[in-house]
A and B are shown apart, each in its own frame.
Chain A
Amino acid sequence: MAADAKPRVKVPKSAAAGEVVVIKTLITHKMESGQRKDEAGALIPRSIINRFTCDFNGVNVVDVEILPSVSSNPYFEFEAKVDTAGEFRFTWYDDDGSVYEDVKAIAIA
Chain B
Amino acid sequence: MRHSRRQALGLGLGAFAAAALPMAAQAALEDAIAAFTGGAATGAGDISIDAPEIAENGNAVPVSVSAPGAVAIMILGAGNPEPVIARVAFGPAAGAQTFATRVRLARTQDVVALAKLADGSVIEARAAVKVTIGGCGG
Among the stretches A3-11, A71-79, A91-99, the one at the interface with B is A71-79
Given contacts A67-B84, A69-B104, contact A80 B89 (CB under 8 A): no
> Does B13 sit at the interface, judged by CB under 8 A?
no
B81 touches A35 (CB 8 A): yes
Q: Which DSSP category, helix, strand, loop or mixed, fits chain B's interface?
A: strand
Query: Chain A nearest CB: distance from B75 CB in Å?
Result: 8
Q: Which DSSP category, helix, strand, loop or mixed, fits chain A's interface?
A: strand
A36 touches B137 (CB 8 A): yes
Determine the distance from Cα of A80 to Cα of B49 in the docked complex, in whole angstroms.
20
Determine the distance from Cα of A21 to Cα of B94 in the docked complex, in whole angstroms.
10
List the B side residues contacting A102 at CB < 8 Å.
none
List the A side residues contacting B105 at CB < 8 Å.
69
Given contacts A35-B136, A36-B137, contact A76 B93 (CB under 8 A): no
B85 touches A67 (CB 8 A): yes
Query: Chain B nearest CB: distance from A44 CB in Å?
Result: 9
